Structure 1
Amino acid sequence: MIRLAILLAFAGGREQFVRLVVTAAGVGLGVVLLLLAAVALPAFKAHEARAGWTDTSVHNVRPAQDESRTDPLLWRMRDDGFAGRDLLRVDVAPLGPHSPVPPGISRLPGPGELAVSPALQRLMVDVPAAQLADRFPGRVVATVGGAALQGPDSLVVFVGYDPAQLTGQPGVIQVRSIEGEPRNAAPTRFGRVVIGIGAAALLVPILVLIGTATRLAAARREERLAAMRLVGALPRQVRTIAAIEAAVSALCGSALGFAVFVIARPYAARIDLDGSPFFPSDLRLTWSSAALVGLGVPALSAVAALVSLRAVQMSPLGVTRKASRKPAAWWRVGPLAVGAFGFVTTLPMLTNTQGDGALWLLAAVTALLILGIVIIGPWLTTGVGKVLIWTSRRAATTLAGHRLTADPSASFRSISGLVLTVFLVTVISALSASTLAGLPDPGRIMLPPGTVGTDFADHNAVPLSADRTNALVAQLHTIPGVTAVVDLRTNAGSVARDNDPVRVVTRCANLRAAALADCPDPAATVSVDARGLGGGDVGDVRVDTAAATDSLPMLGLLVTTDARTSVIESVRTAIEAATNDDAPKLPWTLGELKGQNNHQLDLMTRIGNTVLLVTLVIAGFSLAVSVAGGLVERKRPFALLRLAGMRSRDLSRVLIVEIAAPLIGIAATSVLFGLAVAADVLRVNHMPWEPPGSGYWWTLGAGLATALTVALAATIPLRRITSLETARFE
């Protein structure tokens, strides 16, 4: 039987060969996605391990060196950036011959020496020095290795100093070891909810794709198996042949999937999920994961084939589909109700619980919720079919309605992947829109796009002297593309902290040029509340009686530009070159401030976009396979309809209505359900609800249009498949 099943899997003419290829391709795609999902967690762990050294402090949790045998090291780490990319700068100065050395370099750079990552070195060569290289005092003497880099595109520089230059500078600490504990990049409770939703919503469509590909042209396979019953095969032998044939096709697809995974792994490593791409070696596939996918997928395919035969009676006289195909019953509402109840009741507890166990339990609850959508789908499809029958004015619409009510499960199966995608996109988009809905406090003035700023109100830093400030302001005015320079001076003896007002003064003309205020007298000196300077806004503006600002030291600086990247980076480089030893923090751009303030949202958006892309691919392929399989199975009745006088255009309309009607109707239901789930997540996290933005609606429309386009393309061979010759020989 095994040899016969294998022979049937590979023989049987062109139709059998096409079915084998399509099934293997569908299963292969599912295997590739499962393998990529299996290597995602090890890749994240690799990022966390290599980022551990960036948490170096005077109290390291797991020192990489024996602190009793090392000399102190002066250490200052500051966040920088270039063209929207994060840049990590570390200033070092050893206080002895045995000072600890960070990973990625063999020795500490000396005074006037730099150790830079490969990506940063390429940038320093490719872009003008005034935009990047002039920030770092020294010459490149070493390359930072991968042990210190999260990914191949990471920008890292170690700047060597003489100890006298760093001693007493803002933000400088003494360390005797480098942190060896992996950075804890675990998401917040809000992030765990999003990851749980994404994990569950990604796994289910993959399983749907594999099941859909395995059941391709099930009716044609059943006819062939019935012929075997006619020559004496037992039901047990027929089931064995069906299972082996499906497993063989799945094995071919698995082999194809593993081969594609090997080819695609370097390209998949370039995907930026947590702020940095991966090294290909980060995507490590363990033997256990490979065995689980390699053996589990064929087993799942065999089970799917056996399940598909449960609705069929095979006698020596032919195939009889059981007459138990009734309209989907109301009980299908139950699993969705249970899943919704479980989600609402357990979400508050799970989002406040730490650990991977809570994450997986949340994913399981969400999977039950999504499974409820799948189970209720045929019931909703039956309702859509009845509506078509009641409202139809054309024969094509009536035929499509009867088809939907006659076999709602098969009709829903072809669109289940896209429906799940709609649900996922709705949840993610609603959460993102609500997170971004935060508005500035009343009375605050938002900085314009393209603004570069810096401040000295942290780490006990002292304001920049008047002479150095005046020279820097004059230099910034010479950079083409700079529209205004707002030098925020202080006449206070000390810098206020916490929530105390931080009043700084500047000329009214500066604020007017930067579009931050409309002062009546451009020559007047005004004071500004600068408490929110590091958050992208400033406070109220009022006239002040301070002395001439040119004689005062500077507490902060705002430079507005025409938002060109070259101008922004030139401004930042000029500021760093003039103040890098005195500033506790390096200059920032408005875009970087928004990214820092919405880090969790950024992570959520990255994961959501990736999962959305993958599920769209899955859903589109599932839809194409289902439509193609339906054409093969129904070519005889379609050919007879054409023989009876129905035009091929009307037959095409039947297929389009069968796809479009349940897709649009159930997608609308999925949108409403997704909005409800997002509202519950936001309620638990005490966040206001906001409707998704325009990008969501464009994505939804594009996804539905893509699905309909795939369905329309699948009807192209309809005329040839339903030719009169087909009816004659069938």
Structure 2
Amino acid sequence: MNARQWADDLAMGLRFAFAGGREGWTRAVLTAVGVGLGVALLLLTTAIPSALSERDHRSHARDDFTYSGKLLPKADDTLIVANTDTTFHGADVRGRLLEREGARAPMPPGVGKFPAKGEMVVSPALKKLLASDSGKLLRGRIPYRAVGTIGDSGLIGPAELTYYAGGSGLEAHLATGTIERINYFGPSRWNQNDALDPILILLVTIIFVVLLLPVGVFIAAAVRFGGERRDRRLAALRLVGADGRMARRIAGGEALAGALLGLVLGTVFFLTGRQLAGLLEVRDISVFPDDLNPSPALVVLVALAVPAAAVLVTLFALRGVVIEPLGVVRTAKPPRRRLWWRLLLPLGGLALLYPMIGQGNSNGDFNQWMVIGGTVLLLIGVTALLPWIVEAVVARLNSGSVSWQLAVRRLQLSSGSAARMVNGIAVAVAGAIALQMLFAGVEHDYTKSTKNDLNRAQMEISVRGDIPLSEVDRKLAGTKGVNRVTAISLGSVGTGPKDPDNELETAVGNCAQLRELARLTSCRDGDIFRIVGDEYGSETKKLTAAGRTLYFDPSYSGTPHHTAAWKVPSGVKTAVQREDPTGYERGGLLLTPGALPAAAAAGLTQKVYLSLDRSMADADEYARNTAARMDPLADVFNLTSSKQSLQFQSIRTGLFVGATCVLVLIGASLLVSQLEQLRERKKLLSSLVAFGTRRRTLSLSVLWQTAIPIALGLLLASVVGLTLGTVLLRMTGDTVTVDWASVLSMTGIGAGVVLGVTLLSLPPLLRLMRPDGLRTE
């Protein structure tokens, strides 16, 4: 058999698909829709790395904080940048105040002109939010007049909330960590992202396998749509002289037609989805449509692999089908499926993963190819085992209602078709269960508990020191939703005015406020306390001996400070350490306002702990607004009981986005598959209705035909998912624990998708259940 004969037979199959009448092109279109949905998701997946890369590139291109600890001298090309980031209703708002110091000051990406004082340029999303009713509270926090829009090159996504505002007088505050002088925008060697550790790389690898494998399963199932009617057409070909091999190649050509049309539809779906991507935001992640550009090499791979797979899957499916001139020997009872070779797939997967058990973060990287291979074999084992399980179970199901018997008999005759429809959802659920176990098992490694006492405070605010502490206390105490305010001034004293050998922490506040920081005996205005009980207690006592001269706010490395000399008076009292609301136990000195030298006040910063009324939804926002009115550079953040690695959060967000896309594909593909099966049974359903079968009975039978394979598929998926999750956790060295709530939720989501698809297929089913469906030409 030469290549010419293969090409001719495949071409004949292509012609049958498109020129074979309504039956041919209907099957081709259904196949194309199923394949197209899978191709669209494959293209989207191959485009995600490009979108993330572009997102990171734009993010680094606008970096403005080096965190080097060095202060650039003022020059014609320098710019002072102040961080004014905030949060609004859980969404991050990126803000910057800009004060240029020369004509050649660097311009932020996406900005055409520096905003003057009181003006700002904003992202389109922030402009829309500020103009809406829901942005009323935010407008009070960003009191600048919008004079322009930030271009795409200055944004990481179309939904990002960000602005640049004009500032003045920022040079006096360069000593703080949120203001810096720069001479360029772009990445710095001081703030490069850390590389992913082996466990996070394992997570990413498993995510890609788990999300992409169901897509491949659905594409393989889609090219087999309309198999029974196709086989009858093949029998007709035998009557006109085609041999069995030629008939199979022609069938491959028909599948190839659907796959090629699916590539076209998939491209259309992808381009449509890419345009819609700019309108969507999932967990604060949004991308520009132009960033979703698949890698050319991967596009070529998809374009070649999908048609080739369509032909190979068809030839493989027909390997045990005898196509004779008078019919296809598939309606007879098929031989029982064998189990032994189906078990080899999951066992082979376990064999590949076993050598990496116990490796974790301490023994180097995991072998990614073995991880991918082992995971694929385990999950593909679901598709191999499920047809055997469905066949074995339905063979033992007999008695029951009429609808039950109709469903069981149909499953006994075509258990393979039922299993194919369920394979994709079973693989997806098995992978999801394993991922949930892996995430739950390693989460504690990337989640650190804080010492924040949320019963004492839920928010912390840092304000400039030139704002009187009494004003800070008064304004915040009068803010709606604030129950209690603990405002203190923080600073330091050293043994010298510049680069001192020793330095002590200082805190200034009234007696009630100081009691939040230490345990005091008696206290009145004018008192000074030295904290004892920590490891530096003896050193503190020595440095604060009466008559010794100390210096408030000593300077380092030439940075501007407000150094003030102070002679320690006699009568300094002692205080015992106590954790503040953030769990920090401070040492050094505590001063009441009457004991603070007037010259030292300018070198202090104000720290405020707020207890909020959680029954008020916008209590956080009111507090942030008050802080911004007092000090646009105020640093405000909520206290939490734990903190999680940003890398871990990003991976989890990526999983959520990908899982959402796969669920959409699962639902759409199942619906197409269900409609295709109903189309094939049109005459059978019409015959049953003509003989008096109730529509309710037929509807219930269709429901049972879906429910039985789904129940078996989800049960198998749970077993395989738990097995894979256990192995993955053993690989990371973590304790194997099963989050049964997650397992049940994953299976519930899978069952919910199938139930929704079944309900959507009921209207077409009712239309098909008419006696006139027996009419033919």
TM-score for both structures, normalised by structure 1:
0.78
Moved more, 675-684 or 124-133: 124-133
Of residues 324, 332, 339 in structure 2, which corresponds to 1:315? 324
1:367 matched residue in structure 2:
376
**What are the within-5 Å matches in structure 2 for residues 239-638 of structure 1?**
239-272=248-281, 275-321=284-330, 325-346=335-356, 362-386=371-395, 388=397, 392-393=399-400, 397=404, 408-433=415-440, 445-446=453-454, 451-455=458-462, 464=465, 468-488=468-488, 529=578, 533=582, 538=583, 554-562=606-614, 566-581=618-633, 586-590=635-639, 597=644, 599-633=646-680
Residues 111 and 162 in structure 1, CA contact (< 8 A), matched pair in contact too:
no
Of residues 197, 214, 220 in structure 2, which corresponds to 1:211? 220
Partner of 1:246, secondary structure, is helix
Deviations along 1:556-590, one digit per CA (max 9) or x if unpaired, are: 32241446565422321221332345x5xx20135
CA distance in 1, matches of 2:129, 2:763: 50
Moved more, 223-232 or 548-557: 548-557
Alpha carbons of 1:180 and 1:550: their partners in 2 closer, same or farther (altered >3 Å)?
same
1:459 matched residue in structure 2:
none
Of residues 229, 236, 239 in structure 1, which corresponds to 2:238? 229
Of residues 217, 220, 225 in structure 1, which corresponds to 2:229? 220
Alpha carbons of 1:101 and 1:197: their partners in 2 closer, same or farther (altered >3 Å)?
same
CA distance in 1, matches of 2:369, 2:612: 47
Residues 636 and 726 in structure 1, CA contact (< 8 A), matched pair in contact too:
yes
**What are the within-5 Å matches in structure 2 for residues 691-710 of structure 1?**
691-692=738-739, 697-698=744-745, 700-710=747-757
Residues 528 and 539 in structure 1, CA contact (< 8 A), matched pair in contact too:
no
Alpha carbons of 1:16 and 1:570: their partners in 2 closer, same or farther (altered >3 Å)?
same
Moved more, 45-54 or 399-408: 399-408
1:670 matched residue in structure 2:
717
Alpha carbons of 1:68 and 1:91: their partners in 2 closer, same or farther (altered >3 Å)?
closer
Partner of 1:90, secondary structure, is strand
CA distance in 1, matches of 2:221, 2:632: 60
CA distance in 2, matches of 1:350, 1:7: 55
1:146 matched residue in structure 2:
152
Tell me the amino acid that sits aligned with residue 325 of structure 1. P
Residues 459 and 610 in structure 2, CA contact (< 8 A), matched pair in contact too:
yes
1:516 matched residue in structure 2:
none
Alpha carbons of 1:503 and 1:667: their partners in 2 closer, same or farther (altered >3 Å)?
farther
Of residues 40, 57, 75 in structure 2, which corresponds to 1:32? 40
Task: Tell me the CA shift for residue 638 of structure 1.
Answer: 6.9
Deviations along 1:524-558, one digit per CA (max 9) or x if unpaired, are: 9999955672xxxx5799xx998589999743322
CA distance in 2, matches of 1:673, 1:130: 51
Task: Tell me the CA shift for residue 133 of structure 1.
Answer: 4.6
Of residues 44, 51, 55 in structure 2, which corresponds to 1:43? 51
CA distance in 1, matches of 2:510, 2:134: 32
1:82 matched residue in structure 2:
88
Residues 55 and 179 in structure 1, CA contact (< 8 A), matched pair in contact too:
yes
Task: Tell me the CA shift for residue 258 of structure 1.
Answer: 1.7
Task: Tell me the CA shift for residue 221 of structure 1.
Answer: 0.7
CA distance in 2, matches of 1:673, 1:709: 25
CA distance in 2, matches of 1:201, 1:317: 44
Aligned residues: 688
Partner of 2:397, secondary structure, is helix
Alpha carbons of 1:72 and 1:634: their partners in 2 closer, same or farther (altered >3 Å)?
closer
Tell me the amino acid that sits aligned with residue 43 of structure 1. A
Task: Tell me the CA shift for residue 207 of structure 1.
Answer: 1.9
Tell me the amino acid that sits aligned with residue 614 of structure 1. C
Alpha carbons of 1:203 and 1:448: their partners in 2 closer, same or farther (altered >3 Å)?
farther
CA distance in 2, matches of 1:57, 1:313: 72
Alpha carbons of 1:358 and 1:96: their partners in 2 closer, same or farther (altered >3 Å)?
farther
CA distance in 2, matches of 1:579, 1:339: 60
Residues 384 and 401 in structure 1, CA contact (< 8 A), matched pair in contact too:
no
Task: Tell me the CA shift for residue 230 of structure 1.
Answer: 0.6
Residues 96 and 163 in structure 2, CA contact (< 8 A), matched pair in contact too:
yes
CA distance in 2, matches of 1:143, 1:470: 39
Residues 342 and 365 in structure 1, CA contact (< 8 A), matched pair in contact too:
yes
Task: Tell me the CA shift for residue 613 of structure 1.
Answer: 2.5
Deviations along 1:266-299, one digit per CA (max 9) or x if unpaired, are: 2123444684311111112454444433443233
1:194 matched residue in structure 2:
203
Deviations along 1:93-115, one digit per CA (max 9) or x if unpaired, are: 44444343332234555655544
2:247 matched residue in structure 1:
238
CA distance in 1, matches of 2:756, 2:434: 25
Moved more, 716-725 or 696-705: 716-725
Tell me the amino acid that sits aligned with residue 656 of structure 2. N
Moved more, 290-299 or 224-233: 290-299
Deviations along 1:337-360, one digit per CA (max 9) or x if unpaired, are: 2213323433766977999x9667
CA distance in 2, matches of 1:115, 1:51: 17
Alpha carbons of 1:506 and 1:700: their partners in 2 closer, same or farther (altered >3 Å)?
farther
Task: Tell me the CA shift for residue 40 of structure 1.
Answer: 1.0
Alpha carbons of 1:128 and 1:633: their partners in 2 closer, same or farther (altered >3 Å)?
closer
Moved more, 177-186 or 468-477: 177-186
Larger radius of gyration: 2
CA distance in 1, matches of 2:462, 2:579: 10
Residues 428 and 608 in structure 1, CA contact (< 8 A), matched pair in contact too:
no
Partner of 2:315, secondary structure, is helix
Residues 32 and 258 in structure 1, CA contact (< 8 A), matched pair in contact too:
yes
Deviations along 1:323-350, one digit per CA (max 9) or x if unpaired, are: 7632331331221122133234337669
Tell me the amino acid that sits aligned with residue 480 of structure 1. K
Task: Tell me the CA shift for residue 52 of structure 1.
Answer: 0.7
1:656 matched residue in structure 2:
703
Alpha carbons of 1:212 and 1:627: their partners in 2 closer, same or farther (altered >3 Å)?
same
Q: Which has the higher helix share?
A: 1
Gaps of 5+ in 1: 61-66, 457-462, 495-499, 513-522
CA distance in 2, matches of 1:354, 1:119: 43
Tell me the amino acid that sits aligned with residue 243 of structure 1. G
Tell me the amino acid that sits aligned with residue 37 of structure 2. L
**What are the within-5 Å matches in structure 2 for residues 641-652 of structure 1?**
652=699
1:105 matched residue in structure 2:
111
Question: RMSD value over aligned CA atoms?
Answer: 4.7
Alpha carbons of 1:57 and 1:38: their partners in 2 closer, same or farther (altered >3 Å)?
same
2:172 matched residue in structure 1:
165
Alpha carbons of 1:299 and 1:464: their partners in 2 closer, same or farther (altered >3 Å)?
same
Tell me the amino acid that sits aligned with residue 706 of structure 2. I
Moved more, 245-254 or 484-493: 484-493
Alpha carbons of 1:310 and 1:349: their partners in 2 closer, same or farther (altered >3 Å)?
same
Moved more, 108-117 or 545-554: 545-554
Residues 82 and 569 in structure 1, CA contact (< 8 A), matched pair in contact too:
yes
Partner of 2:175, secondary structure, is coil
